[in-house]
């Protein structure tokens, strides 16, 4: 949520910065509407308070005069006469306040000054690359072919028990997924200083509003309306909201969390777009990194967080590139984002396995997450960040496709071998992994 004071003080500046976003031209009208609402709200608020003040003063007087045995009927009738007008202003103030908040919840974050300006994904600059595209002496297969042949991936069963865009991992395939989860969490806790958390997968609406999935993206989220709960589309939601409505002690910052959760996404409207195999699923596993920092530290924290995610791919020996999202491609709540894309030989393309974003105080404002500034004694909104460290399904794709051998077996990277318990995955072993 944007700061209403900022909008009030520099509406044109806000509009200009929003205009660089995808669909940004339409946002100027929203900003104007917010301003009008703010004006009406403050006027109603002032009138309301004037009457309340008068009422309080007279009620006190009535109390004292009654104690003194005087007749107060006239004064009581007079105060009662305030009620209608007071209620009117109260209603107006309330309505304007709710409307203003609704409008603000629908306005995306301002892109950071450092965010490259561009129209769409084509304008995203490449920041760096690591490793090389592997060269094969044979035509590389894709992960569906490899995983199905090895008995690791079973799409048919998933369709039978649930539907399309779900998968069953089997045998050593399931074990590999579990191994990756453990490996990622181990690296981030041991080497990068994150605290492991295992949060609920179901969250209430306020949490989703806090991280800005709601109200705008309701159609992308699985809901359990009878209970007012939603399946979290990412661990970002429960983990960042760990500190909602809280004033965090400054000496506890930065807070760093790593969390494994499954992620549930309806992917409405995405049917048919790159849907083969594990690439776009309604449920996938992800290890997420979340940071809460003081405002001054957030940009450096984004760089660190991105490096932490990259480190995973480096240890697995997977070629990747880092791109920065331009203003036109930036996510709703983000002020600056790096995407990490891993090379998947079977797809002959890069796959987004991590999106690392700094949200500034945008989410903190929505969830009222503050810290006390030790220098001024004032409460300030914290900055929040998150990034996948990394998404598992697409990592799985890249791993299978990069590590495949001519006979269709998978030669695991060194670091995973202790976790999986084998060096190579072959058809014969697939369904009877060693324990």
- Interacting span for RNA (CB under 7 A) from 57-65, 184-192, 320-328, 405-413: 57-65
Which of 24, 30, 55, 186 contacts RNA by CB under 7 A? Answer: 55
Least CB distance from residue 232 to RNA, whole Å?
Answer: 17
- Interacting span for RNA (CB under 7 A) from 12-20, 50-58, 107-115, 216-224: 50-58
The reply on whether position 91 binds RNA by CB under 7 A is no
The reply on whether position 164 binds RNA by CB under 7 A is no
The reply on whether position 63 binds RNA by CB under 7 A is yes
Q: Are 148 and 430 in contact (CB under 8 A)?
A: no
Taking the C-alpha atoms of residue 268 and residue 50, their distance in angstroms, rounded to an integer, is: 50
The reply on whether position 64 binds RNA by CB under 7 A is yes
Least CB distance from residue 93 to RNA, whole Å?
Answer: 9
The reply on whether position 244 binds RNA by CB under 7 A is no
CB nearer to RNA: give 83 or 117: 83
Q: Can you say whether residue 23 is alpha, beta or left, with left for phi > 0 and alpha for psi between -120 and 50 degrees?
A: left
Alpha helices for 191-338 (secondary structure H): 205-210, 236-240, 298-316
What is the DSSP-derived secondary structure letter of residue 141? P
Which of 22, 35, 36, 45 contacts RNA by CB under 7 A? Answer: 45
Taking the C-alpha atoms of residue 257 and residue 279, their distance in angstroms, rounded to an integer, is: 26
Radius of gyration of the chain (CA): 27
Burial code (b: 16+ CB inside 10 Å, e: under 16) for 348-361 equals eebbebbbbbbbbb
Residues 6+ away with beta carbon under 8 Å from 47: 89
Which of 24, 35, 52, 178 contacts RNA by CB under 7 A? Answer: 52
CB nearer to RNA: give 21 or 48: 48
Residues recorded for the chain: 435
Place of tokens 């400054």: 250
The reply on whether position 57 binds RNA by CB under 7 A is yes
Size of the site for RNA (CB under 7 A): 27
Which of 10, 29, 46, 268 contacts RNA by CB under 7 A? Answer: 46
Least CB distance from residue 264 to RNA, whole Å?
Answer: 19
Which of 9, 26, 49, 414 contacts RNA by CB under 7 A? Answer: 49
Taking the C-alpha atoms of residue 120 and residue 196, their distance in angstroms, rounded to an integer, is: 35
**Sheet strands (E) in 76-224:** 126-130, 153-154, 168-169, 195-197, 202-204, 223-224
Q: Can you say whether residue 281 is alpha, beta or left, with left for phi > 0 and alpha for psi between -120 and 50 degrees?
A: beta
Q: Can you say whether residue 345 is alpha, beta or left, with left for phi > 0 and alpha for psi between -120 and 50 degrees?
A: alpha
Three-state SS at 291: strand
Catalytic residues: 265, 280, 352, 355, 394
Which of 42, 119, 133, 276 contacts RNA by CB under 7 A? Answer: 42
The reply on whether position 432 binds RNA by CB under 7 A is no
The reply on whether position 35 binds RNA by CB under 7 A is no
- Interacting span for RNA (CB under 7 A) from 60-68, 151-159, 166-174, 325-333: 60-68
Least CB distance from residue 12 to RNA, whole Å?
Answer: 20
372-431 binders of RNA (CB under 7 A): 377-379
The reply on whether position 62 binds RNA by CB under 7 A is yes
**Given the rule CB under 7 A, which residues bind RNA?**
41-42, 45-46, 48-50, 52-53, 55-60, 62-64, 66-67, 76, 79-80, 83, 377-379
């Amino acid at each position: 949520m944007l700061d209403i004071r900022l909008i009030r003080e520099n509406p044109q500046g806000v509009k200009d910065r929003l205009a660089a976003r995808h669909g940004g031209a339409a946002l100027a009208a929203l900003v104007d509407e917010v301003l009008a609402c703010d004006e009406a709200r403050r006027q109603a608020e002032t009138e309301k308070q004037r009457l309340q003040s008068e009422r309080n003063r007279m009620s006190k007087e009535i109390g004292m005069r009654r104690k003194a045995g005087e007749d107060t009927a006239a004064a009581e009738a007079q105060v009662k006469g305030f009620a209608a007008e007071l209620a009117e202003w109260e209603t107006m103030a309330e309505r304007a306040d709710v409307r203003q908040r609704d409008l603000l919840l629908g306005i995306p974050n301002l892109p950071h000054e450092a965010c490259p300006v561009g129209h769409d994904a084509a304008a995203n600059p490449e920041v760096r690359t690591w490793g090389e595209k592997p060269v094969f002496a044979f035509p590389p297969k894709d992960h569906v072919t490899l995983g199905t042949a090895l008995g690791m991936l079973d799409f048919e069963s998933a369709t039978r028990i649930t539907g399309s865009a779900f998968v069953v991992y089997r045998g050593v395939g399931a074990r590999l997924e579990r191994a990756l989860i453990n490996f990622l969490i181990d690296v981030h806790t041991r080497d990068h200083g994150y605290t492991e958390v295992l949060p609920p997968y179901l969250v209430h609406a306020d949490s989703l509003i806090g991280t800005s999935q709601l109200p705008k993206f309701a159609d992308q989220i699985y809901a359990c309306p009878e209970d007012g709960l939603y399946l979290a589309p990412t661990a970002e939601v429960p983990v960042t909201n760990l500190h909602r409505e809280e004033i965090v002690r400054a000496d506890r910052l930065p807070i760093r969390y790593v969390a494994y959760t499954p992620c549930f996404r309806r992917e409405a409207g995405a049917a048919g777009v790159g849907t083969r195999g594990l690439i776009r699923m309604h449920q996938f596993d992800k290890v997420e990194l979340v940071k809460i920092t003081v405002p001054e530290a957030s940009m450096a924290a984004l760089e660190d967080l991105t490096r932490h995610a990259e480190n995973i791919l480096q240890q697995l020996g997977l070629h990747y590139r880092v791109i920065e999202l331009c203003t036109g491609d930036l996510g709703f709540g983000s002020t600056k984002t790096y995407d990490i894309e891993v090379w998947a030989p079977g797809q002959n393309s890069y796959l987004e396995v991590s999106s690392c974003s700094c949200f500034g105080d945008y989410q903190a404002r929505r969830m009222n997450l503050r810290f006390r500034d030790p220098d001024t004694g004032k409460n300030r909104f914290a900055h929040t960040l998150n990034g996948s460290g990394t998404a598992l399904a697409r990592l799985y794709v890249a791993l299978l496709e990069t590590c495949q051998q001519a006979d269709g077996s998978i030669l695991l990277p060194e670091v995973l071998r202790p976790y999986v318990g084998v060096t190579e995955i072959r058809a014969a072993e697939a369904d009877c992994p060693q324990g």
